[in-house]
Structure 1
Amino acid sequence: MLLLIGPIIVIVANSFWSQDYLTIDHTFTLKNYQAALTEPIYRDLLMRSLFVSVTVAVVTVILAYPVAWFVSFHGGRYKGLWLFIITVPFWSGYLLRILSWKVILGYKGVLNTGLLYLGVITEPLSTLIYNVNAVIITLAHSWAAFAILPLFVSLEKLDRSLLEAAADLGDGPVRRFLRITLPLTMPGIIAALMIVMIPTVGDYVTPKLVGGKDGVMIANAIQVQFGKASNWPLGAALAVSTMVIVSIVAGALVLLLAGLKRLLK
């Protein structure tokens, strides 16, 4: 427990200190939080990071749910094999997967080359990479397996007899999904959203490699403060502020989905 709490205590303590060039002053101050919450550059980066993380989480879960549903309902005795196939691509390094998307989305990448060959475009598109959209696509792929697994577990726990009873009573596939499958698998949906959303806020490698100046996130600013700028107090304040705000957003999202579950019932 100390190993988990210790680093957080150190970061929080640093956030209340001030720094004079490379010397840290242990005098209590709130100016770091004032800068983190009021300066436009940090506020804009935080808003962009929240937008990207929520969008990635929602997109990933929407794409992962049908895959988890297929494996659970139609995988049969090959469910283990299907899960193995799903997780195999993620045995490669995280950095390698990001660079692969850089090759796919690049100006002379696979996607542009394919579109040129098919005659869909007359010149390579420069808008596929080095923007927020490229960050969202790359992160959604990178975290897909982490969303599929909790959704699969939730679908496996679903009582199939409830679906059979609903079918006998005349409910169609869509109605059965909305009234039974979706509400009863909501814990898996919430878990998948949190597993994807929370870590993506702190990702600074993906924005740096495929985001360009339009895809920079708050984690990049934190990394700069702890690295090149050597301003640990401000970096710590940015980290703590981000952690608190993300926790609030995550809590609000959980309450929203819990309310949706009650509404569907």
Structure 2
Amino acid sequence: MQMGDRLRRFFRSDAGAGAMLVSPTALYALLLLAVPLAAIVIISFWTQTGIRDFDTTFTLANYKEALSEPLYRQLMLRSLMVSGLVTLITVVLAFPVAYFVSFAVQPSRKSLWIFIITIPFWTSYLIRVFLWKVILGFNGVLNSGLQAIGIIDEPLTFILYNVNAVIITLAHAYAPFAILPIFVALEKIDRSLLEASRDLGESRVMTFLRVTLPLAMPGVVAAILIVFIPTIGDYVTPRLVGGPGGLMIANMIQTQFLRLNNAPLGATLAVLAMLIVAVIAVILMLLARRAAGGGRRR
């Protein structure tokens, strides 16, 4: 009876009502996120014995192979390099756009600019990748245009079916994802802080470095994570525009699952990629928190 009374009092309280409200969402997330993730981790310790048969004996052989095989290390390093460059290029180019919309555009027209920024979402991601193939191709728009104005005599061959094409395509595809969180962070900045900095004798550049940038760091970190995490797991873009020299770790994971019939090794590569991304994400958040704290102390 006491346990029943406690449960009734709990569900009648604000905490109980809140728990009831979030329970369906939590259960949904548990079934669609946590359970598949746990399954991937468990499978990574198994051994494939047939098309659909597994030896469920616990083994670390997959992790030893994944960490010792030079090909997997090369693909992982290439994936980190590509994702890092894409993130750097995207965030560096996105910040001025977000800054312009936040500080230079009239409030009544900001929604129009946000609308324009989100226009790429109207088309399929796959269509945008194919459009970049048309632009960067041997006889594509870029090569034809450069030849027409006399800048080059023969088509450029280093802009398609390699890492460069992957970086260009991903940077364009994820640009809106970087602009929007930075814009939101800039919009939250109290403009009176900037005026106070100027009144105290700081220049526009120092005001930006000491006030605006530290306060915008949460948006910058969000943009970095939003771009970095999905790009390291992208396999469509490297497959379509990367060629053999532009393939990433996600392509190897797909190959292990669908072509080589080695789901445990594919799961192992996926787990290692997730762990690396998680470590990098934690480091970035700690650095951003320290930078924001340093900006507030100044």
TM-score (norm 1): 0.97
What's the CA shift string for 1:129-168, capped at 9, x where partnerless?
1111111111011011111110010000001011111122
What residue number does 1:32 align with? 62
Q: Per-residue deviation at 1:72?
A: 0.8
CA distance in 1, matches of 2:205, 2:124: 39
What residue number does 1:107 align with? 138
Q: Which one has the largest radius of gyration?
A: 2
Does the Cα contact within 8 Å between 2:218 and 2:288 map onto a contact in 1?
A: no
Q: Which moved more, 1:248-257 or 1:61-70?
A: 248-257
What residue number does 1:68 align with? 98
CA distance in 2, matches of 1:92, 1:240: 31
Matched position secondary structure for 2:131: helix
What's the CA shift string for 1:161-191, capped at 9, x where partnerless?
1111112222222111101100000000000
**2:55 aligned with 1:18, yes or no?**
no
Q: Which moved more, 1:38-47 or 1:161-170?
A: 161-170
CA distance in 2, matches of 1:172, 1:188: 23
Equivalent residue letter for 1:27: T
Matched position secondary structure for 1:101: helix
Q: Per-residue deviation at 1:263?
A: 4.3
Q: Per-residue deviation at 1:262?
A: 3.9
Matched position secondary structure for 1:75: coil
Which among 48, 51, 60 is matched to residue 81 of structure 2?
A: 51
What residue number does 1:2 align with? 30
Equivalent residue letter for 2:185: S
CA distance in 2, matches of 1:229, 1:75: 54
Which among 88, 95, 114 is matched to residue 126 of structure 2?
A: 95
Identity of aligned residues (%): 59
Q: Note the aligned Cα RMSD (angstroms).
A: 1.2
CA distance in 2, matches of 1:263, 1:101: 41
Equivalent residue letter for 1:81: L
CA distance in 1, matches of 2:204, 2:288: 22
Matched position secondary structure for 1:123: coil
What residue number does 1:150 align with? 181
CA distance in 2, matches of 1:2, 1:263: 37
Equivalent residue letter for 2:30: L
Q: Which moved more, 1:76-85 or 1:255-264?
A: 255-264
What residue number does 2:20 align with? none
What residue number does 2:240 align with? 209
Q: Per-residue deviation at 1:21?
A: 4.0
Equivalent residue letter for 1:142: A
Compare relative contact order (CA 8 Å, sep 6+) and give the higher one, 1 or 2: 1
Unaligned runs of 5+ in 1: none
CA distance in 2, matches of 1:45, 1:69: 36
Unaligned runs of 5+ in 2: 1-28
TM-score (norm 2): 0.86
